[in-house]
Amino acid sequence: MTVDLEKVNSIIEKYRDDREAFIALLQDISAEYRYLPEEVIRYVSEEIEVPVSRLFSLATFYTSFRLEPRGEHEVQVCMGTACHVRGAPRMLDKVTQKLNIKPGETTEDKRFTVETVNCVGACALGPLLVYDGKYYGKLTQWKIEKLLEGSNDEDDQSS
């Protein structure tokens, strides 16, 4: 895979005087590509003269980083405590059964990536999931069914 390194250069430039800000730098790269491509990490390591091992270590330690491309849609099921006691595990089961993948994985057709998050701070609405940045609260298995199916035929998902 080849990536457009010009964007990377401008991100590197942004942190030129802030040599310890590796995490911020990786976050910006991650926001740009929606994951951390190996090629980019290696390139950044050369440019900022930091061992690749250190960047690789950071990329695997912090959960906001992914080394694999994400799917078109991101489904994050909240597994916070409030959601847990309100049935989040069953909701997660439903999502993973429906899409036939495990949390952290992407469907074969690259349409969905499912992740778990440790609380999004909307506990009054639990159990809930975040679908492409939008919160769907007071979930039921029916709602999940509709949400994930709705996106298949490009219908309005908010119904």
Partner 1 sequence: MMKMTSPAELEKYRSSILEGIDSGRPSVSVCCGTGCSASGALEVVSAFERLLEEKGIQANINTKITGCHGFCEQGPLVLLSPGNRLYCKVTEEDVDDIIEETLLANRVVERLLFVDPVTGEKIEKEEEIPFYKKQLRLIFGDNGKMVPTDIRDYLSLGGYSALAKVLKGMGPQEVIQEIKNSRLRGRGGAGFPTGLKWESCDKAEGDIKYVICNADEGDPGCFQDRSLLEGNPHLVLEGMIIGAYAVGASQGYIYVRNEYPLAVKNFSTALEQAREMGLLGENILGSDFSFNIKVVRGGGAFVCGESSALITSIEGRIGEPRYKFVHAAEKGLWDRPTVLNNVKTWAAVPLIINRGAEWFSEIGTEQSKGTMIFSLTGKVNNTGLVEVPMGISLRELIFEIGGGILEGRKFKAVQTGGPSGGCIPEGLLNLPLDFEKLAEVGSMVGSGGMIVMDETTCMVDVAKYFLSFTQEESCGKCVPCREGGEHMLKILERITRGEGEERDLELLKEISDTMQCASLCALGKLAPNPVLTTLKYFPEEYLAHIKDKKCSAGVCKELIEYLIDPEACTGCGRCLKACPTGAISGEKEAVHILDQEQCIKCGNCMEVCRFDAVSVE
Partner 2 sequence: MVSITINGREIKTDQEDITLLQLARSEGIGIPTLCFHKALLPYGACRLCVVEVTGGQNTKIVNSCAYPVREDGISVQTNTPKLKQIRKNILEFLLARCPEIDMVKKMASGLGVKEKRLPEKSLPEDQTEECILCGLCVRVCGEVIGKEAISFVHRGAEREVAAPFYSQSKDCVGCTACHFVCPTGAIKVKESGNKRFISPWNTEITLVTCEMCGISFAPENSGEYLQAKLGLPAEWLKLCPQCRRKVAAETMGKYDFTSRNVILKK
* Residues contributing to the site for partner 1 (CB under 8 A): 19-24, 26-27, 54, 57-58, 61-65, 79-87, 90, 93-94, 97, 117-126, 128, 135, 137, 140-142
Q: Is 57 in the site for partner 2 (CB under 8 A)?
A: yes
The whole-angstrom separation of Cα 85 and Cα 64 is 25
Classify 83 as helix, strand or coil: helix
Residue 9 or 63 having the CB closest to partner 1: 63
Nearest to 104 by CA among 131, 76, 126, 145: 76
Q: Is 51 in the site for partner 2 (CB under 8 A)?
A: yes
Which DSSP category does 124 fall into? Answer: G
Strands, E assignment, the chain: 73-78, 112-117, 129-131, 134-136
Q: Could you tell which of partner 1, partner 2, none binds residue 52, using a CB distance below 5 to 8 A set by kind?
A: partner 2
Q: Is 118 in the site for partner 2 (CB under 8 A)?
A: no
Q: Could you tell which of partner 1, partner 2, none binds residue 38, using a CB distance below 5 to 8 A set by kind?
A: partner 2
| 6 burial level (CB within 10 Å; 0-12, 13-18, 19+) | exposed
Among 9, 10, 60, 64, binds partner 2 (CB under 8 A): 60
